[in-house]
Chains A and B, each alone.
Chain A
């Protein structure tokens, strides 16, 4: 096998070891940032052209980690299959937290970040406030990742990164991050 002739499994394996810069315990594959690995049709170019296309999608439009993630993915690909991969960004359909793998959700909860509820399951924005809440309010019901209490309060829609909101548990009183359903 020539250098750069790695198969799909090896490329996936390399991508699965690229951590998210802000949540280093989960990988860019688990977060759904790497969307697909496609074989580039042979007719598309000369022998030297890329043979694999890695399709990535950004999470939040303005997330400062996007550039770092792209560079990390590029470096991982260059290490496992030099010159064999191109990286393309695809916006549609837009990234959703529904793309986060179940294992990554468990890892988030384990470090005290309440994972996002599935949006598709309800057919509507997760946990739409309901009751007598005004129409523009869709704060989801979030369980405390430390004590499991459902009595929690949103402190701020926004947190330490674009993908998180700040919550407080009304039982154990600990503040915690919530990965926003998006």
Chain B
């Protein structure tokens, strides 16, 4: 690769796949947060969830728009962001398993957000140095927003973890239950290894220690225990990034995609 943004066709195919991974985790989590609209425990939180969801949706659109442009280099036609979001089936989605997990209680929602936010911040921070200029530009924009997400979710982990006996116990249970989905975030498959070697993708295996340090620090402030690593779902070559999802994604997509699928080309 001599100039940024123009890669060999083989690399373009990998970049397309990688952009879908980045986009899909944002979009699926945005959809999950959207499920809380009007049902937040307090007004400020209802607004906060929606704002975080909007940020993620906006970032997901930037990734998808670029994915469509890259697809046009390797396929007869590149799909636009709407086609990519609304007309792909679950097995074509490339999001992390963590973000498709159900909202559960507010503790579950916040634990999921907290674990993802800290990974998201580190991944985007690394991507601001990507040799693909467009990826670097989108990451530089997104990382500023995600810093806010990290502060909010970390603050809630401390408030609830170091809160009442009941909130502490429920927060710990939520962290423990989602822990098995965190290994996938740091397991690089062949796609990510090749792109990281080319200076395009974030080397996720290197993010694990900084993530454990950041997450562990907040959990300590929250008087919560850092769970021990056990079986990690999706971290062994076949998980969300390869299109192998939990049963929850299909239900989420059925809701998210119902309008564009039942009324193709609907316009506002």
Contacts and interface: CB of A to CB of B under 8 A. Distances in A.
Q: For the complex, would chain A's binding face be called helix, strand, loop or mixed by DSSP majority?
A: loop
B148 A157 contact: yes
Contacts of A95: 141
B44 A156 contact: yes
Interface stretch (B99-107, B173-181, B213-221): B213-221
A94 interface: yes
Contacts of B50: 158
Given A91-B137, A92-B137, A137 B151 contact: yes
Interface string B36-69: 0000000011011011111111110110000000
A148 interface: no
Most buried by B among A61, A139, A182: A61
Contacts of B196: none
B144 A182 contact: yes
Contact of B51 (A58, A135, A155, A158): A158
A157 B55 contact: no
A64 interface: yes
A60 B58 contact: yes
Given A92-B136, A136-B214, A63 B221 contact: no
A171 to B, nearest CB: 21
B150 interface: yes
Nearest to B43: A156
A133 to B, nearest CB: 11
A27 B48 CA distance: 26
A33 to B, nearest CB: 14
Most buried by A among B44, B45, B61: B44
A94 B137 CA distance: 7
Interface in A45-62: 58, 60-62
Given A156-B47, A157-B48, A125 B138 contact: no
A156 B145 CA distance: 15
B226 interface: no
A62 B44 contact: no
B51 to A, nearest CB: 4
Interface of A: 58, 60-64, 66, 91-96, 125, 134-139, 155-160, 162, 166, 180, 182
9 contacts: A61-B55, A63-B54, A66-B58, A91-B138, A92-B141, A136-B155, A156-B44, A158-B47, A160-B47
Given A62-B53, A62-B56, A136-B214, 8 more contacts: A58-B58, A64-B54, A135-B217, A136-B218, A157-B48, A157-B152, A160-B47, A162-B55
